[in-house]
């Protein structure tokens, strides 16, 4: 029995360490497999490529991360290790046997036990091709065709041409006017669901060379940056613009594109299209923040003011979380998954419905939309794990202010009354004293 256990243990160890890619490298060669527990690490250990998950046994996505730090974002008010690029955002791996390979033809694919999940690159026509994939210190994953001596012959495919929701230094937003290829960012559907969401950041082409960045929602303009002028977009709001960050806008016969560069990656720079339609940057002091204006001229109104909402304030990206340990939410309505609603959509639906008191994700994967008609104080039955969102009630603040104002005024009136009464009695006492003397 003991010998059998040792034998099984040795088999397991050999299985775990049999893959050459398990040692740290920046390159995936033909014939190798990048699987769970493996990773590619760029030469200076800036970025890594690996399988990742959101707390489940299966790791359904291949993603690129900053290697040595957790990248965090201003919005939502949650700090998480965030992938800056996801290879298969719309095609999750269904089992625990996911792997990334390059076949003899140079086809670059993600596989599972059931076959191909996604071809990142497929040559046409198929022919023998010596290729490898390398993760650069810029965060760009590059599939290269090689000469027999190992030198690079040409680039077949690169991740920088297919950004997801995050723009790294050197990535482009815009359009290649010769090929028609577009570079754009599209938000995740939810905080733990990388699938394409509701908002897209793109650059509009302009024959006069005055293109601008736009955020689209469902094909409609949500926000606009205004034209590029004197080194900036005229409607953008740059906060703490660091000296190590440079913006560039290119407009010529080949392309119209926006990019930015940094002197180093020490601050883990990244621009991110949030699930709520806002363009954010990392909180790690990139020195670059581009907040697009949303004036009625340049954007759809995010919400209308209703009489039933006069007593509430609406903070985009800063919703008040009621403590779930004290409240339960009832009169529930769940929107059908065919609506493909994000939390932002759910927020707007709730705001526009005067009978809606709160809203939340519909699933544990933080997707879908549920709204609630009432919230009740009931600590014993409150859900301790679920997050509910509602709107700040500014009436309570007003009532509280009026309460203290009335108390203060009453106290002041009492003090003044006592003072005048004292003065009156004091003067009368003086008058009587004078009369007696006479």
Contacts of 291 by beta carbon, 8 Å cutoff, 6+ apart: 236, 237, 239, 278, 279
Judged by DSSP in three states, 339 sits in helix
Query: Quick one: pLDDT band at residue 437, thresholds 50, 70, 90?
Result: very low
Q: Please say if the pLDDT value at position 76 is more than 80.
A: no
Between 94 and 398, where is the model more confident?
94
Q: State how far Cα 301 lies from the chain centre.
A: 21
How far apart are the C-alpha atoms of 389 and 76, rounded to whole Å? 12
Query: Quick one: pLDDT band at residue 285, thresholds 50, 70, 90?
Result: very low
Scan for tokens 């700040």, then name that residue.
392
Calculate the average pLDDT of the chain. 77
How far apart are the C-alpha atoms of 411 and 413, rounded to whole Å? 5
How far apart are the C-alpha atoms of 404 and 394, rounded to whole Å? 16
Query: Quick one: pLDDT band at residue 402, thresholds 50, 70, 90?
Result: low
Q: Please say if the pLDDT value at position 210 is more than 50.
A: yes
The percent of residues above 70 in pLDDT, for the chain, comes to 70
Summarised one tens digit per residue, pLDDT across range 368-384 is 899 999 988 888 888 87
Summarised one tens digit per residue, pLDDT across range 19-28 is 444 568 999 9
- CB distance 171 to 160 below 8 Å: yes
- Whether the bond between 76 and the residue before it is cis, its omega within 30 degrees of 0, is yes
Q: Enter the DSSP assignment of 209.
A: S
Summarised one tens digit per residue, pLDDT across range 185-203 is 999 987 788 999 889 999 8
Q: Please say if the pLDDT value at position 71 is more than 80.
A: no
Name the nearest CA neighbour of 225 among 285, 298, 147. Answer: 298
Q: Tell me how crowded residue 381 is: count the other CB atoms within 10 A of its CB.
A: 8
* Beta strands across the sheet bearing 47-52: 39-41, 47-52, 61-66, 85-86
Name the nearest CA neighbour of 264 among 142, 169, 173. Answer: 169
Q: State how far Cα 11 lies from the chain centre.
A: 42
In whole angstroms, how far apart are CA 435 and each of 244, 423, 427, 429, 438?
88, 18, 13, 10, 5
DSSP secondary structure string for all residues of 52-77:
E-SSSSS--EEEEEESSS---BSSSS
How far apart are the C-alpha atoms of 66 and 54, rounded to whole Å? 17
- CB distance 245 to 286 below 8 Å: yes
Task: Please state which of the ranges 19-23, 67-71, 363-367 shows the lowest mean pLDDT.
Answer: 19-23
The percent of residues above 90 in pLDDT, for the chain, comes to 34
Residue 113, exposed/middle/buried by CB under 10 A (0-12, 13-18, 19+)?
A: exposed
Q: Enter the DSSP assignment of 18.
A: -
What is residue 360's predicted lDDT score, i.e. its pLDDT? 87
Buried b / exposed e across 76-87, counting CB within 10 Å, b at 16+?
A: beeeeebbbbbb
**Nearest 5°: phi and psi at 131?**
-140, 160
What is the arithmetic mean of pLDDT over 316-322?
A: 46
In whole angstroms, how far apart are CA 99 and each of 59, 61, 143, 326?
10, 10, 16, 45
In whole angstroms, how far apart are CA 322 and each of 27, 80, 358, 429?
48, 21, 9, 62
Summarised one tens digit per residue, pLDDT across range 245-265 is 888 888 888 998 999 898 888
- CB distance 222 to 215 below 8 Å: yes
* Beta strands across the sheet bearing 220-224: 185-190, 193-204, 212-217, 220-224
Q: Please say if the pLDDT value at position 236 is more than 50.
A: yes
Name the nearest CA neighbour of 138 among 211, 32, 71, 67. Answer: 67
Q: Please say if the pLDDT value at position 235 is more than 90.
A: no
Name the nearest CA neighbour of 25 among 46, 39, 36, 37. Answer: 39
């Amino acid at each position: 029995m003991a010998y059998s256990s040792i034998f099984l243990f040795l088999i397991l160890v050999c299985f775990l360490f049999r893959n050459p890619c398990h040692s740290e490298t920046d390159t995936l060669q033909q014939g190798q497999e990048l699987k769970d527990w493996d990773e590619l690490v760029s030469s200076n250990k800036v970025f890594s490529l690996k399988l990742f998950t959101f707390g489940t046994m299966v790791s359904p996505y291949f993603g690129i991360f900053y290697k040595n730090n957790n990248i965090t974002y201003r919005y939502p008010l949650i700090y998480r290790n965030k992938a800056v690029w996801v290879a298969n955002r719309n095609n999750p791996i269904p089992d625990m046997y996911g792997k990334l390979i390059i076949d003899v033809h140079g086809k670059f694919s993600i596989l599972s036990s059931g076959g191909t999940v996604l071809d990142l690159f497929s040559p046409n026509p198929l022919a023998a091709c010596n290729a490898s994939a390398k993760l650069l210190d810029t965060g760009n994953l590059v599939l290269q065709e090689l000469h027999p001596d190992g030198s690079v012959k040409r680039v077949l495919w690169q991740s920088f041409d297919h950004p997801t929701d995050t723009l790294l230094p050197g990535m482009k937003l815009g359009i290649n006017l010769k090929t028609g290829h577009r570079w754009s960012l599209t938000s995740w559907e939810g905080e733990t669901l990388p699938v394409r969401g509701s908002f897209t950041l793109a650059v509009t082409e302009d024959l006069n060379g005055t293109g601008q960045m736009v955020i689209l929602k469902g094909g409609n303009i949500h926000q606009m940056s205004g034209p590029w002028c004197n080194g900036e977009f005229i409607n953008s709001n740059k906060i703490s613009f660091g000296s190590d960050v440079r913006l560039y806008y290119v407009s010529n016969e080949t392309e119209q594109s926006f990019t930015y560069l940094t002197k180093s990656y020490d601050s883990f720079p990244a621009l991110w299209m949030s699930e709520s339609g806002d363009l954010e940057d990392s909180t790690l002091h990139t020195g670059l923040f581009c907040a697009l204006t949303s004036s009625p001229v340049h954007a759809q109104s995010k919400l209308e003011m209703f009489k039933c909402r006069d007593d509430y304030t609406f903070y985009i990206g800063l919703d008040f979380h009621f403590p779930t340990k004290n409240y339960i939410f009832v009169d529930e309505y769940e929107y059908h998954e065919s609506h493909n609603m994000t939390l932002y959509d759910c927020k707007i639906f709730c705001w526009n419905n005067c009978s809606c008191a709160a809203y939340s994700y519909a699933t544990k994967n933080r997707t879908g939309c549920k709204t609630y008609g009432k919230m009740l104080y009931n600590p014993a039955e409150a859900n301790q794990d679920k997050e509910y969102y509602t709107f700040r009630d500014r009436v309570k603040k007003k009532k509280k202010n009026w309460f203290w104002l009335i108390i203060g005024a009453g106290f002041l009136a009492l003090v003044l009354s006592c003072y005048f009464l004292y003065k009156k009695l004091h003067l009368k006492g003086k008058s009587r004293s004078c009369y007696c003397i006479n």
